[in-house]
């Protein structure tokens, strides 16, 4: 064999070996590719399932997010509405506050004016109190003067009544003297020695009768009711029907007596008499003093 043939044979052998190795390698590679393809297919299926699951979850999350967004929008709208109402109320409150502040300012001004007015009134009240104090003192002086005048009037009234009683007693005496003269009697003649001489025709009992007529008869009111009064003296004391008694009340500590009125006797007993109240200048009570009117002509 030639060298060329040998070389060709060697190359063919090497080529066969290389081809065999390539076939073996390709077969091996084909088996690995199949397993890899199956793995890739399984992985792809799993990835697709995962992707679908993730997509479903994403859709759910998206819907949930959309729902939450809608809820949040509703809440935001509600909050905005309440905020608008609150702002409106705040505006109203601010307006009311401003009005209240204005009113407060006005009221403070009024209070200040009233305070000044009260100060003026207090000053006027203090002046009135001072005037009232002076007036009260003046009234006290006037009351004391009035009491003194009242006492003086009562005293003068008593004096007037006493004077009237004296006049009536004198009139009774004059009437008695006129009666004696009309009966043919002569009056007593006064002699220098001061002794009364009874002339012819004059009864000897005339002088004692006249002195008895003017003798004072004193007593007191025992009872008075409905204008009728009873006194503590009677016929045994010289009281007679038709006599007039003056009623007065003694003043304490020797003061002037208070004239109260007069009583005309209508009923006489031995130790008691009764009559009607003719004149009343005061409140006649039991215990008040009585005295016959005729005795005031000769004050005893």
Are 130 and 171 members of one domain? no
Q: Residue 218: CB partners within 8 Å, gap ≥ 6?
A: 233, 289, 290, 291
Residue 142: the pLDDT is: 80
Are 92 and 188 members of one domain? no
Among 107, 127, 144, give the residue marking a domain's end: 144
Residue 182: the pLDDT is: 56
What is the CATH number for 259?
2.40.10.340
| Mean per-residue pLDDT of the chain | 78
Residue found by looking up tokens 């199956």 in the block: 38
**Whole-angstrom Cα distance, residue 151 to residue 258?**
8
Q: pLDDT over 70 for what percent of the chain?
A: 77
Q: pLDDT category, 278, cuts 50, 70, 90?
A: confident
45 vs 197, more confident: 45
Are 282 and 196 members of one domain? yes
Number of Cβ atoms within 10 Å of the Cβ of 4: 8
Among 95, 113, 144, give the residue marking a domain's end: 144
Are 99 and 169 members of one domain? no
Per-residue pLDDT of 50-64, as tens digits, reads 878 888 888 898 898
Are 229 and 130 members of one domain? no
Q: In the structure encoding, which two tokens stand for residue 70, read together?
A: 């809608």
Average pLDDT estimate for 211-222 = 75
Residue 57: the pLDDT is: 86
Are 60 and 29 members of one domain? yes
DSSP secondary structure, 21-80, as one string: HHHHHHHHHHHHHHHHHHHHHHHHHHHHHHHHHHHHHHHHHHHHHHHHHHHHHHHHHHHH
Are 96 and 222 members of one domain? no
Residue 220 has pLDDT above 80, yes or no: yes
Among 116, 144, 172, give the residue marking a domain's end: 144
Q: Which range of residues forms the domain containing residue 251?
A: 153-298
Are 172 and 286 members of one domain? yes
Are 126 and 157 members of one domain? no
Are 118 and 251 members of one domain? no
**Whole-angstrom Cα distance, residue 188 to residue 278?**
37
Residue 21: the pLDDT is: 81
274 vs 252, more confident: 274
Length of the chain: 300
Per-residue pLDDT of 166-203, as tens digits, reads 677 676 667 666 655 555 443 333 333 333 433 333 33
- SS3 for 176-220, per residue? HHHHHHHCCCCCCEECCCCCEECCCCCCCCHHHHHHHHCCCCEEE
Per-residue pLDDT of 103-155, as tens digits, reads 888 988 888 888 888 888 888 888 888 887 888 887 777 877 777 677 667 66
238 vs 209, more confident: 238
Total domains in the chain come to 2
């Amino acid at each position: 064999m030639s060298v060329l043939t040998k070389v060709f044979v060697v190359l063919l052998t090497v080529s066969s070996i290389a081809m065999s190795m390539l076939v073996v390698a390709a077969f091996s590679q084909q088996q690995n590719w199949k397993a890899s393809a199956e793995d890739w297919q399984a992985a792809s299926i799993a990835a697709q399932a995962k992707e679908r699951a993730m997509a479903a979850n994403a859709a759910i999350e998206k819907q949930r997010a959309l729902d939450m967004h809608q809820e949040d929008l509703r809440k935001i709208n509600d909050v905005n509405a309440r905020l608008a109402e609150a702002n409106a109320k705040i505006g109203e409150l601010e307006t009311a506050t401003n009005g209240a502040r204005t009113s407060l300012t006005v009221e403070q001004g009024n209070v200040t004016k009233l305070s000044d007015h009260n100060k003026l009134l207090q000053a006027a009240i203090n002046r009135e109190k001072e005037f009232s104090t002076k007036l009260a003192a003046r009234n006290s002086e006037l009351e004391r003067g009035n009491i003194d005048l009242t006492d003086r009037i009562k005293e003068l009234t008593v004096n007037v009544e006493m004077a009237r009683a004296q006049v009536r007693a004198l009139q009774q005496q004059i009437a008695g003297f006129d009666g004696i003269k009309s009966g043919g009697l002569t009056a007593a003649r006064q002699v220098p020695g001061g002794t009364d001489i009874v002339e012819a025709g004059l009864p000897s009992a005339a002088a004692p009768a006249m002195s008895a007529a003017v003798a004072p008869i004193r007593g007191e009111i025992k009872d008075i009711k409905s204008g009728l009064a009873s006194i503590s003296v009677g016929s045994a004391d010289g009281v007679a029907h038709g006599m007039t008694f003056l009623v007065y009340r003694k003043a304490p500590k020797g003061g002037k007596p208070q004239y109260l009125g007069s009583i005309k006797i209508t009923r006489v007993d031995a130790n008691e008499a009764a009559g009607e109240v003719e004149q009343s200048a005061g409140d006649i009570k039991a215990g008040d003093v009585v005295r016959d009117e005729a005795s005031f002509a000769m004050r005893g």
